Amino acid sequence: MSDLDFQNISSVQNELQPGAKSITSATTIAPTTLLTKTTGATAIATITPPVTGDHVLWLVTDTPVVIGIGGNVLVGYTTVTNRPIALIYDSKQGKYYIAAVV
């Protein structure tokens, strides 16, 4: 995704944005929309940023998944099935913070 497509991850969207995408859980994932759903239980170590600046992505997993061990996520976290988490990107550090929604 280029920075010109930033609206696809913006918190303000309309019916022209692509909507939530579903991808298979892997060591490295590359979300392209604000909300990404993952299937499978493979641990996620690295998240490829869809744009170069600071941004927030939302992730929902269909099974508990470990995120952030050895990649670009600052603190590891195990997801809860169908509970969204916010991934907040700090472009200066090149790292994601996880904000778990309870």
Residue 23: half-sphere exposure toward Cβ, Cα within 13 Å: 17
Tokens of residue 17, six digits = 């944005």
Amino acid 27 reads T
Q: How far apart are CA 98 and CA 89, in angstroms?
A: 9
Q: Quote the radius of gyration of the chain (alpha carbons, Å).
A: 13
Residue 17's pLDDT is 77
The per-residue pLDDT for 101 is 67
Contact 45, 66 (CB under 8 A): no
What are the residues facing 61 on neighbouring strands? 38
Tens of pLDDT along the chain (102 residues) come to 566 677 777 777 778 778 788 999 999 999 999 999 999 999 999 999 999 999 999 999 999 999 988 899 999 999 999 999 999 999 999 999 999 766
